[in-house]
Amino acid sequence: MNMTEWVDTHVPDWLSQQRGSKKVAIEYEGEFWTYGQLYERAGRLAGYLASLGAQAGERIALLARHGLVFANTVHSIIQLEAILVPLNTRLSATELVWQLRDAGVHMLIYDSDHRELAQQVVESLRTSVAAGPIEVELDGVHWNEDELPIYHEYIVLTATQSLMYTSGTTGRPKAARISYKNQLWGALGSALRLGVQPDDRWLTPLPLFHVGGQSVLLRSVIYGTTAVVHAAFDPVKVNQALCEQGVTLVSVVPVMLSRMLGEQTEPYPNTLRNVLLGGGPAPRLLLDVCIQQHVPVSQSYGLTEANSQVATLSIEDSLRKIGSAGRALAFTEVCIMGEDGPVDPYQEGEIVLRGPTVITGYENNPEADERAFRNGFFYTGDIGYVDSEGYLYVLDRRADMIVSGGENVYPAEVEATLLAHEDIMDAGVFGMPDERFGQLPFAVVKVRLGVTLDIAELKKFCRKHIAGYKIPRKIVCAAELPRNASGKLLRRELLKWL
């Protein structure tokens, strides 16, 4: 490797660069760690894990919701030059066993809240794999002043930082191979779109084991700013953090934001400069309410395979381009692909991506790679279009699209319409097989407490906003809709329900 190649693939370690800073690196449920503390503790935990047998290049799984355990582990694994496999704490033991085996995990770290689940998983693995992974329980947070710390000096950009299993809204989970390069460019592209300020405090009530949460941790260290982590989403607590604790940025999905606004009577203070709204197309009504109430919302389109953000609407465009997920971030290319190649503005097609935040592939899954990567572009499976100024409009997952009597029906659009009705708290739409029409749109809704739903009236309401063929043929009530840990609707589950 010559010096130019070396410079192109190495950057000084992010955490080590911040070690002299007196700023808070991470805040979790009232506890604060400065950058100096995080640096020292990550180094000592790295030393501890090495003493237990962890080595560079190995896969280390993490089953935890505790924000400090999570941050400490993420950064100690970076210092060790090992690979993080963050686990979804909502999965069953069987699902976790499958992922640990798929990823070839050598060590499983868990917090005390997940001891039982972790031990079940390890036991099950021991019956099939010779030794099974090394177990490490971090009771609260581990840091031992006698531990010999381990630090590395450079981050190798081409190395894998984590194997991130996709949320699994479709098919069996695939492990997206997230590199340090993906992390760095994700941070840089996001900074140029959202701006970055030395006193930024970025709150994530999203789980850290998904890309939306983890990226907040990594970006904050790259920027030298503060990550604020909540143990679980609680709208009152989030509002408190925004109003009283100087949070400047917050990452949420539409259902979370709806609930936050439902609890909030005062306008948010000026310290809050961006509400990053991901996790699928946002209902128009929600965006309208945000604009009326001067909530600085940035609709965003992202996915695990692009290390979260792909496109994000700037605050200054939030009115002019309402409903759009904005332009692609500075270093990401978004292209709309039809049957015969790229299509013109306003024409619908599959959203395909290229750029330094896009993964090089799925781990150990050549079939998935072959489907997703073609001609150097990543095929997202999402449908959308761009306008004449290059602003992206995301319609839906291609796999969720309903074709009814030859017409395309996008569940997201129908759901947004249902949600615009004052009695509807949540809605899910999916395609029901039909002999005559191919598919028909069906809906499951959650109704406001104490209200009896008038289905005829609701259909009439829909008719005012969308074409007749889009109106759900059947509307069923449910107490709660199936959503994954990130708040994403699991449409496939709805079909199973009926």
Cα–Cα distance for residue pair 303/307, rounded to 1 Å: 6
State the sign of the Cα–Cα–Cα–Cα dihedral 207, 209, 212, 217: positive
What phi and psi, each to the nearest 5 degrees, are found at residue 225?
-115, -175
CB of 342 to a copy of itself, least distance (A): 13
- CB nearer to a copy of itself: pick between 68 and 328: 328
CB of 192 to a copy of itself, least distance (A): 6
Residue 159 Cα distances to 165, 219, 222, 282, angstroms: 17, 17, 17, 35
Angle value at C-alpha 305, between 77 and 355, nearest 5 degrees: 100
- CB nearer to a copy of itself: pick between 191 and 260: 191
Give the containing element (helix H, strand E) for 414: helix 411-419
CB of 195 to a copy of itself, least distance (A): 5
Query: Would you give the end-to-end CA distance of the chain in angstroms?
Result: 59
Query: Given the rule CB under 8 A, which residues bind a copy of itself?
Result: 3-4, 6-8, 11-12, 14, 17, 20, 23, 188, 191-192, 195-198, 222-224, 314-316, 327-328, 330-331, 333, 354-356, 358, 360, 376, 389-391
CB of 151 to a copy of itself, least distance (A): 14
CB of 390 to a copy of itself, least distance (A): 6
CB of 111 to a copy of itself, least distance (A): 31
- CB nearer to a copy of itself: pick between 22 and 464: 22
- CB nearer to a copy of itself: pick between 127 and 375: 375
Cβ neighbours, 10 Å, residue 407? 13
Nearest to 254 by CA among 305, 290, 227: 290
Residue 147 Cα distances to 19, 72, 158, 178, 268, angstroms: 18, 15, 30, 29, 44
- CB nearer to a copy of itself: pick between 109 and 194: 194
CB of 180 to a copy of itself, least distance (A): 13
Cα–Cα distance for residue pair 66/87, rounded to 1 Å: 13
- CB nearer to a copy of itself: pick between 11 and 117: 11
State the greatest distance between any 2 C-alpha atoms of the chain, in Å, as a whole number.
73
CB of 20 to a copy of itself, least distance (A): 4
CB of 158 to a copy of itself, least distance (A): 9
Cα–Cα distance for residue pair 39/15, rounded to 1 Å: 6
Cα–Cα distance for residue pair 286/273, rounded to 1 Å: 18
Tokens of 193: 């779109």
Q: How, if at all, do strands 226-229 and 201-204 pair?
A: parallel
Burial class from Cβ neighbours inside 10 Å (0-12, 13-18, 19+) for residue 356 reads: middle
Q: Are 278 and 302 in contact (CB under 8 A)?
A: yes
CB of 373 to a copy of itself, least distance (A): 9
- CB nearer to a copy of itself: pick between 33 and 378: 378
- CB nearer to a copy of itself: pick between 35 and 442: 35
- CB nearer to a copy of itself: pick between 122 and 368: 368
CB of 282 to a copy of itself, least distance (A): 21
Helix (H, G, I), strand (E, B) or coil at 69: helix
- CB nearer to a copy of itself: pick between 98 and 331: 331
Displacement of CA 39 from its chain's centroid (Å): 25
Burial class from Cβ neighbours inside 10 Å (0-12, 13-18, 19+) for residue 131 reads: exposed
- CB nearer to a copy of itself: pick between 30 and 341: 341
